Amino acid sequence: MDNELIASHFDEMAELLEIRGESTFRVRAYRNGAKSIRDLTESVASILADPNRKLTDLPTIGDAISEKCKVLLETGKIPQLEELRKEVPAGLLQIMRVPGLGAKKAKALYESLNITNIDELRAACEQKKVRELKGFAAKTEESILKSLDQLASTSARMLLDEASYLVESLRKHLQVIPSIKQLEFAGSYRRGKETVGDLDIVIVSKHPDAAMDQLNSFPRLQEVLARGDTKMSIRVHGGFQVDMRVVPAESFGAAMQYFTGSKEHNVEIRGRAKKLGLRINEYGVYREEDLDHPIAGETEESVYAAVQLPWIAPELRESRGEFEMAEQGRLPQLITLADLRGDLHMHTTATDGENTLEEMVAAAQARGWEYIAITDHSQRVSVARGLDGTRLRAQWQEIDRLNEKLEGRFWIFKGIECDILEKGGMDLPDDVLAEADWVLASVHFGQQQPREQITDRILGAIRHPSVSCVAHPTGRLLGRRPPYEVDLDAVMQAAQEHGKLLELNSNPARLDLHDIHCQMAAARGIPLVINSDAHSIHHFDLLKFGILTARRAQLEATAVWNTLSCDELKKRLANLKQP
């Protein structure tokens, strides 16, 4: 049983205890324990098996959680969790995750209206029963219905980071089989889509049964859906489907091209093949007059070459003009993670980050970066102990001391993630913001305001002389919160006119701006930054998801300012502050 699955048991315990009304201390203990387990770089099982080590040596892991881990690994169950599942209807977990609800309101809905699942919640809202409960209102009811619509469109899909974790778990589990000579993941995951509906594995092996037997022993296996001679489908914990196909080496490239998709891209490439008297399928490329002997298919490059095209990167395969670009030799030199020279959005222990300023700097240097910007929250975000002018200036003085100590080997930009207030205007005085190197303007509150009001707030921030960039410009959280109502066209026009930047936030729950919006911004000449929004040194790894989104947007490195050298970035940021 892997760490992710173990952690999910404790997450569920925390949620069920919260619904039952247990103490926040106990709920938090399980949540923190789950996080520690999920963040481990080695398995819980290996730690417990080592007589010289204790699981309780890890932060936030106490005796109770350690003991439950032992029982879970030995029996596959936690008795206390099994009892909680009997006491609390399973549907209440889904209800408490609806934006705007939570455990207390889920419990109130259950006790007052006997609502036990999402369908019953929707029906009660549509019948206007929810607004009659204490603590609810007509506006709450409308907001719930809107959130349910959002959840319905994404609930069957997995976020990129979750899919990435599952991919690496499957890869590690399968690649121990000697007869597996090639193994890659295809589908929407390979194309870097922001959510993934299922996983496709393409394998080269002369012994398909060995590969399928190994998949059958995957620790997160929930059920086997189908198994044939060369294809197997399973469902893993959480209901997610994984399909594995075993192909001969001469068909590997064709299978990868076919199963990577998208559907629209494949329709177009098959149409091109037909015009050339060819046929393309998952087994290879064939001449129409000889469907027994493939002329290409071992590599993807050979498949594209057969239809007189260069290889097209998976992230571009959405039938958005990639064939025309390929024909004309205009395929973009897509940005890569290695192109980034720094990160311009992160948080420290001064607000809600987990690492100190010095630790963030050291981690950035270890990655070979040239610079970072420290952008802790401003005072409006009181839950994160946001900074007022005095605390912020003190932090900047510390940054000045560090920059002097670093002697030009690395540079820390003095930044702030400054809230755009609900009434409009910035959360910190103008004289404070004028001292910053880099100001991210963000909307965290008042996200239910009308479209015109939110747009005016953001436009006002863009016009502010000290603001450099708008962070996560639409405020969406995938599967949890839809974008707030904003006229993004007006925002882009203002950014273009005032020379301000827009952020692609790499947090996989945000990916905001999304790929189409990034493409729109780049087409207008609006500079972008790809940031991690890191709240710990480990969150720097999230940048790979922002890069995937940027590649889907057809972005080259020149469109992104944090690919610039430190000296060049300093010049451009200084120019931003010119009247």
Residue-wise pLDDT tens digits, 489-505: 999 999 999 999 999 99
pLDDT at 152: 63
Of 69, 82, 85, 86, the closest CA to residue 34 belongs to 69
pLDDT at 482: 87
pLDDT at 391: 98
21: left (phi over 0), alpha (psi -120 to 50) or beta: left
Per the listing, tokens 């891209």 go with 265
Considering only CA atoms, give the Rg of the chain: 26
b/e sequence 10-34, b meaning 16+ C-beta within 10 Å? bbbbbbbbbbeebeeeebebbbbbb
Residue 79 has pLDDT above 90, yes or no: yes
How far, in Å, are 75, 158, 198, 219, 226 from residue 223 at the CA level?
18, 18, 15, 11, 9
Per the listing, tokens 């005095």 go with 390
Mean pLDDT in residue range 259-278:
96
pLDDT, tens digit, for every residue of 406-463? 999 999 999 999 999 999 999 999 999 999 999 999 999 999 999 999 999 999 999 9
How far, in Å, are 99, 351, 385, 475, 486 from residue 442 at the CA level?
20, 16, 16, 9, 13
> What gap in Å lies between CA 199 and CA 203, rounded to an integer?
13
pLDDT at 455: 97
For residue 218, the tally of other CB atoms under 10 A from its CB is 18
**Where does the pLDDT of residue 344 fall: very low under 50, low under 70, confident under 90, or very high at 90 and above?**
very high
Report the mean per-residue pLDDT for the chain: 93
pLDDT at 43: 80
At 486, give phi and psi (nearest 5°): -150, 140
> What gap in Å lies between CA 202 and CA 221, rounded to an integer?
18
- List the structure tokens of 180: 């597996």
Residue 333's Cβ-count burial label (10 Å; 0-12, 13-18, 19+) is: exposed
Mean pLDDT in residue range 319-347:
97
Residue 477 has pLDDT above 60, yes or no: yes
- List the structure tokens of 419: 């809230």
pLDDT, tens digit, for every residue of 36-72? 887 776 789 889 999 999 999 887 899 999 999 999 9
Mean pLDDT in residue range 377-394:
96
DSSP per residue, 205-217: ES-HHHHHHHHHT
Mean pLDDT in residue range 352-362:
96
Mean pLDDT in residue range 471-493:
92
Name all domains of the chain by residue range, CATH numbers in brackets: 3-154 (1.10.150.110), 159-247 (3.30.460.10), 262-331 (3.30.210.10), 337-576 (3.20.20.140)
pLDDT at 416: 98
pLDDT at 94: 82
Residue 550's Cβ-count burial label (10 Å; 0-12, 13-18, 19+) is: buried
SS3 call for 161: helix
What interhelical angle do 160-174 and 543-552 show, nearest 10?
A: 100
**Where does the pLDDT of residue 205 fall: very low under 50, low under 70, confident under 90, or very high at 90 and above?**
very high
pLDDT, tens digit, for every residue of 140-171? 888 888 888 766 654 568 999 999 999 999 99
Of 173, 158, 164, 187, the closest CA to residue 220 belongs to 173
Of all residues in the chain, the percent with pLDDT exceeding 90 is 80
Q: Could you tell me which residue, 367 or 22, shows the higher pLDDT?
A: 367
